[in-house]
Structure formats: structure tokens, C-alpha cells
Structure 1
Amino acid sequence: MDTTSRRRRHPLRNSLIAGGLVVLLVGGGGAAWAVDRFLIEHVEISDVSEYEAANSSSSTASEAGTSTETEGTVTGSTYANGETTVTVSQVVTGTGDDTVTYYVADVVLGDAAALRSAFAKDQFGENITETTSAIADANDAVFAINGDYYGFRDTGIVIRNGVVYRDVGAREGLVFYTDGSVAVYDETTTSADELLAAGAWNTLSFGPAIVQDGQIVDGIEDVEVDTNFGNHSIQGEQPRTLVGVIDENHLVFVVVDGRDSGYSRGVTMTEAAQIMVDLGATTAYNLDGGGSSTMYFDGEVVNQPSNGGERGTSDILYIAE
């Protein structure tokens, strides 16, 4: 993996953008509502670690602990811990303004519970954010990607590490089961308790699904995940964060950089789906992208987030050391 061309970060840019947003909201109608809804933290659970310990089944908690307690090793761009391995590589296609750069993490899990989720600041609620790397560091992660940014909205089914946090079905979700299988599902036709009873370990609520049964899903260029205030279109050539399923306990994660002419323009939904098909994914799902798209491995961010530096997010998926 080539990391020699990594650009200088500009962490102040996010602060300036956020400050400008506050000014715009305060100057417009409904300012108090908008600031409260989209900027102010609303903490529902202040200590997620304690909450999960109290609400996880003893067998599942034991399995998760066993999968992360032994010491793994990183050699080059590969991490190995027993039967769990993570191999990260960089892919560059095209030239000039048509260049696309993306990062692939091929992940084989010794146990499905080795893929974990973590929340920003170890808290659950709305508008609680930290960078992907900060959340990863706090959870001793060797590998992490940004998640579905559950905290931007108050809908969706949120099950993380075998614990239910939210049960408001709204869109097409993705569920990881403890037996190593993964499925796309309709949140509006089930419940968190039903999923948990069937063995759900983690769920994601963003989308859409872009590959099913090894084929690119029709109509993905027209899908809108949310239409509420503050959401940007997910269409066009964008940075992307994607998760794909190759087989039980064999996953592939992709982060596509974008909005940087000559380095990486980003990809459309259809192009993203083709990347996943080419990697062997039979199922693939779109996560929060744009400035959120971040891949972390062995103590550093390996891609080049489009904001010039990491943007805060509400959650990650990760493999612990």
C-alpha cells in the first residue's frame, strides 16, 4: 500500500465550516430548532461500554471477548490474530481527471463477533461525533471504517455488538449475524427484537444495497437515503464507504476517495457497485460517504478524506488488536 503521497491535513477546515453553519442557522428562521436538532448533542446513553456489559447475553459477550484478547501482529499491510486477518491495499485506476483511488480491506473473521461497532465518545444519541481515528484509538482498533452516521437521524434499527439501541424502522438496512451471515433487509417489516432473536450482532441503517446475488442492483442511481434538512445527495461521483460480503465471515470494505481532480474524482453508485462485484462481493451496501469516508489501519488514516482531514462521525465498524 502506497502511503508516500499522503497530503497535508487541514483539520481547521471542519471547524470553519461548522462555525459558518452555526451563523447561517442563527440568521435564518427556525434557528433554535435547527441548532437543537442538528448541532447540539443529545445523549441518550452516557456510558455505552457499561450499557453493553449489562445488556449483552453472557455467551455472546464471552465470544466477543475471546476474539479480541489474544495479541495479533501487523506485517506490511496485513494484520493477523488467530483466524482473523485484515489485508489492506490501494487501487488506482484511470488517469488525469478520470483517476479513481480507493482502498480495499479484505477481512476474514475467525468469529463473527470480531467485527465490532463503537460510538463516538462512548455515548449513544444524536449529534455526538468524533473522528474515525479517535474512536478507533479509544477502542484499541487495528482496523476501522466510518459507519452509518446513525446520530444524524432519529430513525433506523440500531443493534450494535448484540445490543439494541434504537428500533424505528425506516429504510433498507444491513444485518450481520453471529453465525457469520449477512443480509439486506427491510427495516419496516421487522423489529429489533425479532432480529436479535434471529442472532443479529450488528445492523447498519444507510444504504442502499448496491449488489445482491452478485449482480448490480437496478435503480441505485435514483435512491435517496434521507430527504431531511442538511442531507446532501448521495448521487454523482462521490467519495464512498462500502461493505461487501464474499462469504460467511469473509467481508470486503472499500473506501473510495473523491473530490480531488487528478488524485481521485470519486465514483457513482453504479461504479461503486462494479468495484464490489469485481472484488467478488455477492452482497454490497453503501454507508455514509462524502467527507465521512475514512479507513484506519495500524494506527493511521490510510486514505485522504475529501475535507482535507477527517470529519467527525457518530460510529465506526472495527477489528480490535
Structure 2
Amino acid sequence: MTSETTDQRPARRISRRGLLAGGLGLLATAGGAGGWALNRYVVDHVEVTGASGLTAANVVAAEADSDGTATATGYTSDTAKITIETVSTGSGSSAVTYFVADVQVSDATIVKSAFANDQFGENIIANPSEIAASAGAVLAINGDYYGFRDTGIVIRNGVMFRDAGARQGLAFYADGSVKLYDETAVSAGELLADGVWNTLSFGPGLVEDGKALSGIDQVEVDTNFGNHSIQGNQPRTAIGMIGKNHLLFVVADGRSQGYSRGVTLPELAQIFVDRGAEVAYNLDGGGSSAMVFQDRLVNNPLGKGQERGTSDILYVAG
């Protein structure tokens, strides 16, 4: 994440609870990109008592439209079939809650991206549910927060917006396939010529050829110190592919004692492997992690039920 980026989010008024030792605790209060990155990924622990959190079963589905039918945990139309599952394991400090949306589409191009305020650029943000509503999304998750940096290949809905390869990316092809790739080894123009419909630039890749990738518990997304904190138990958002036109959207809640501690990157990878994914990729997480279905928030970000603004979403069009 780039040194030029500055904090555009509301200041947090939550006391630190010893999550960082020594000097990093002071750095978290400093201005500039480093402090913001730390705030994004190591948000203070929030204890929740007597709260079970929001689940897909709590979602009240919108009325069926002319193109499909919806229930609280699923949607079916001529072009898409979506089922949403809530998984809760453990208890107390070991409790984990995550949400899995199984998405099957007949046309890969109805899996789209949308920008906050329908604008491309750095530091343009809106809540995922607001972006989803504007786009007419049936199901959405937060994306890669492309606007937090000025690097990465950004192709969205078949249009190139940025060609500055820097890390491992994820490419969605118009034929329904999804692949991990090295952004530094190819241009955006070459990807478009090869049939790429969307790209995401965050990472790391979690699963390839049906196997969890090794070493992901050591990977840093970028070089600034704030990204060290993507390791450990964190709220997470990730996307995976079981087969062509068959995707998994996963959002894990975290930092909420008794409800969900979050998951590590290896644990996140295993969720996809256990469900038969051939490929999977980590997206922006922490307080940004959100799943929206039929205009309603499915998960419970940071145990507070409050979304945080981001620059983009990945969604299934209605």
C-alpha cells in the first residue's frame, strides 16, 4: 500500500487493548499511510456479550422479481443459483463464524465489479451495501480496495483502468475460469486479449490446483509495516472457484470474543479446499469484510454490525 495514501475514514475512538507491543502502538496513532494501514488491519478487539451476530438466517429476502426467486438463504434465476450457508464452530475465545455463498452462473459476465460512487480513483469510498444497491446486485462482497494504492492491474467488467503490475493477482475470464497470475509478468492489454473480464489485486493466493498454498502465513501484501497484521486471526473476505462458472464467496467475521475470533490465512485456505475449490484468493479484510445479499448485510463486521467504506465490490448481477 502506497506511502502517498492518506486516511479518508472516520477517526476511531476505541481504546487500544495491547494488540501491538512497544513502538508499533505509537505508530498506530501517527498520521499518513502507515498509521492508516495499521488501523485497517489491527482494529482494536471488541468484546460482544450476549450477541450471536447477524446470520444469513436473519436476512429478510426481498420480494421475488420477474427474473428470479429469493429466500433468506438463496436465490434462483435463469442465470444464477446462489445458496448461503452460515458456519459456526467452537465457543468462547475459539468461536468462529463465517459465511459461504455458493454461486453458480450460466454466464460468467454477470459476476461483475462496481466502484464506490461509480467512479474510479484513489480514496473514493462507500459502504458495500450502498455500492451493491446502486449496482443492482443480488449478492456482493467487498473487493480488493484498489483505491488504497496506485499499483496493481485493474480490469473491471472488460475495461482496463490501471496497468501497474506489482503482486500476485486473480483473473476472472469470460469463459468462467479463474486463475492466479503474476501481475509483473503480463500487461493488462495482454490479459484483455486473452479474455479476462475482471482482475483483483490483493492476495495472497490461497489455493491452486485444489491444494492450499504453503507459506501464506508469512506473506505480506505490500511492504509497509501495516500489512504485517494480515497474519493471525482476522476477519477475512475471499473468493474461490470450484469449476467454470461455479464460485465460492467467503466472509469470516472476527475480533468479537464469544462470536468469532476470525481465521488465519491457512484456515481460510482450508475452508476452500474442504469445499472442493481449485483456486482461491484472499481479498481486503478486517473491518472491510462484508457480504450483502438482497440489499442486506449478512455478516456482522467486528461484532458491531457496521460496515466500513471501501472502494469496490465484486457482485452477482440480478
Smaller-chain TM-score bracket:
0.7 to 0.9
- Cα distance in 1, alignment partners of residues 303 and 117 from structure 2: 22
1:53-94 Cα distance to aligned partner (Å, 9 max, x none): xxxxxxxxxxxxxxxx97222123111120311111101011
Match for residue 275 of structure 2 among 273, 279, 304: 279
Q: Which runs of 4+ in 1 moved over 2 A?
A: 227-232
**For residues 70 and 182 of structure 1, do their structure 2 counterparts lie closer, same or farther at Cα, with a shift above 3 Å needed?**
farther
- Cα distance in 1, alignment partners of residues 227 and 215 from structure 2: 20
SS in 2 for 1:233: helix
Correspondence 1:189 to 2:185: yes
Question: 1:291, 1:307 within 8 Å by CA — same for their partners in 2?
Answer: no
- Equivalent runs, 1:67-82 vs 2, <5 Å: 71-82=67-78
- Cα distance in 1, alignment partners of residues 303 and 71 from structure 2: 30
Question: 2:256, 2:303 within 8 Å by CA — same for their partners in 1?
Answer: no
Question: 1:216, 1:270 within 8 Å by CA — same for their partners in 2?
Answer: yes
- Cα distance in 1, alignment partners of residues 225 and 311 from structure 2: 18
1:150-197 Cα distance to aligned partner (Å, 9 max, x none): 000000000000000000000000000001111000000000000000
**Residue ranges of structure 2 left out of the alignment (5+ in a row):** 1-8, 16-25, 38-64
* Counterpart AA for 1:228: N
Give the TM-score normalised by the residue count of structure 1: 0.79
Residue 307 of structure 1 and its aligned partner are, at CA, apart by: 6.9
SS in 2 for 1:156: coil
Residue 19 of structure 1 and its aligned partner are, at CA, apart by: 12
SS in 2 for 1:105: strand
Question: 1:141, 1:319 within 8 Å by CA — same for their partners in 2?
Answer: yes
Match for residue 100 of structure 1 among 70, 93, 96: 96
SS in 1 for 2:229: coil
Match for residue 269 of structure 1 among 265, 272, 279: 265
SS in 1 for 2:271: helix
SS in 1 for 2:98: strand
Query: What number of residue pairs does the alignment pair up?
Result: 270
Match for residue 312 of structure 1 among 306, 309, 317: 309
- Cα distance in 2, alignment partners of residues 233 and 226 from structure 1: 11
Where is the helix percentage greater, Structure 1 or Structure 2?
A: 1
- Cα distance in 2, alignment partners of residues 201 and 230 from structure 1: 31
Residue 96 of structure 1 and its aligned partner are, at CA, apart by: 1.7
Correspondence 1:17 to 2:12: yes
Give the TM-score normalised by the residue count of structure 2: 0.80
The residue that corresponds to 1:212 in the other structure is 208
- Cα distance in 1, alignment partners of residues 193 and 204 from structure 2: 24
- Cα distance in 2, alignment partners of residues 302 and 104 from structure 1: 10
Residue 231 of structure 1 and its aligned partner are, at CA, apart by: 4.3
The residue that corresponds to 1:298 in the other structure is 294
- Cα distance in 1, alignment partners of residues 230 and 237 from structure 2: 11
**Residue ranges of structure 1 left out of the alignment (5+ in a row):** 1-13, 40-68
Of 69-78 and 148-157, more deviation after overlay is shown by 69-78
- Equivalent runs, 1:240-259 vs 2, <5 Å: 240-259=236-255
- Cα distance in 2, alignment partners of residues 232 and 316 from structure 1: 24
CA RMSD across the alignment: 2.4
- Cα distance in 2, alignment partners of residues 223 and 80 from structure 1: 38
SS in 2 for 1:85: strand
1:296-315 Cα distance to aligned partner (Å, 9 max, x none): 00121010011721010000
The residue that corresponds to 2:122 in the other structure is 126
